[in-house]
Structure 1
Amino acid sequence: MLIRPMRPDDFDAVWPVLRDIARAGETYALDPGLDRAAGWALWGEAPRATFVAERDGAILGSYYIKPNAAGPGDHVCNAGYIVAPAARGQGVAAALCAHSLAEAARMGFAAMQFNMVVASNQVAVRLWRRHGFLIVGTLPGAYRHATLGLVDCHVMYRTLHDQAG
């Protein structure tokens, strides 16, 4: 698997994954009616960097890195990850997470924070914990899950000092 910076033409493969995740309403706080232009702005324009994972020319997943806040908070980054359905369970998200931690440290960020990890998404919670993230807060009923109703969200955080190269 190769993880590399996303090119504009890669969004043709990234968009259906992002669109379907938004529509599902189970893991991301995104408008279920997210259109392609807004998806590109979110995934391709707003981040400081966006990467894709590919194997044999097929896009398996993607992630972005951006400052979590402005000014005095811009030393903490935020990242978002998506994995194509056919690539799930193959270690793609773990590889993307490891890559993003190293890349964020290389970019000079001191920490990474996830603002809304949907608590019912136990696969993600376990993965982020394996990568050193701590649950630093829980927001009761902060997510309107499409099938479960109101569910909690975790704020997860880790420093990047051990990632500096």
Structure 2
Amino acid sequence: MRIREFTEADWDQVWPIVEDVITAQETFPYDPAWTSEVAHDVWVERAPGHTVVAEEDGKVLGTAKMGTNRPGPGSHVATASFMVAAHARGRGVGRALAEYALDWASRQGYAAMQFNAVVESNEGAVELYRRLGFAVIGTVPEAFAHPTLGRVGLHVMHRRL
């Protein structure tokens, strides 16, 4: 598996991953009615942000976006988001993307990384982030409407770099 910078030619493989994740409504607070164009505008970061894909044999297995969490006085903290194709889950793709994002943020000079909205019922992601050194620093109760679990919390997770 190789992680590389996203190119516009990748969108045809990235969009189905994004669409699958957001229409499932289990892990991302994105509108499931978004078109490909709207999702592209949200997912593909503009400089100084960065968007990447994880690929194997020309097939995109996952994608990540990363950049500054907040402008101005908060610009020393990075953030990132990750999506993995359903068929590639459990193969280390998410971990590889998260490690890449942490390395990228460190090389860019960020002091920390913060995730603003990790769905608390997304146990795989929460556990991965904990293993990578993140801590839950707060949870917004009932902030995410899960399709089968009802309202669940959104964790704010943080790690110094």
Same fold (TM over 0.5): yes
Hey, what does 2:12 align to over in structure 1?
12
Distance 1:28 1:46 in 2: 20
Shift of 1:97: 0.6
Report the equivalent of 1:27.
27
TM normalised by structure 1 equals 0.94
Matched with 2:118 is 117
Q: Which residue of 1 aligns with 2:84?
A: 83
**Conservation of the 8 A alpha-carbon contact between 1:8 and 1:44:** no
Mapped to 1, the partners of 2:83 and 2:11 lie a distance apart of 12
Runs of 4+ in 1 over 3 A off after TM superposition: none
Unaligned 5+ segments in structure 2 are none
| Structure 1 gap segments, 5+ residues each | 161-165
| RMSD (CA atoms) | 1.0
Partner of 1:51: 52
The Cα offsets for residues 31-75 of structure 1, whole Å up to 9 and x where unpaired, read as 011111111101114471001101111101010112111100011
| Percent identity over paired residues | 47
How far apart, in 2, do the equivalents of 1:24 and 1:84 lie? Answer: 12
Q: Distance in 2 between matches of 1:93 and 1:43?
A: 16
Aligned length: 160
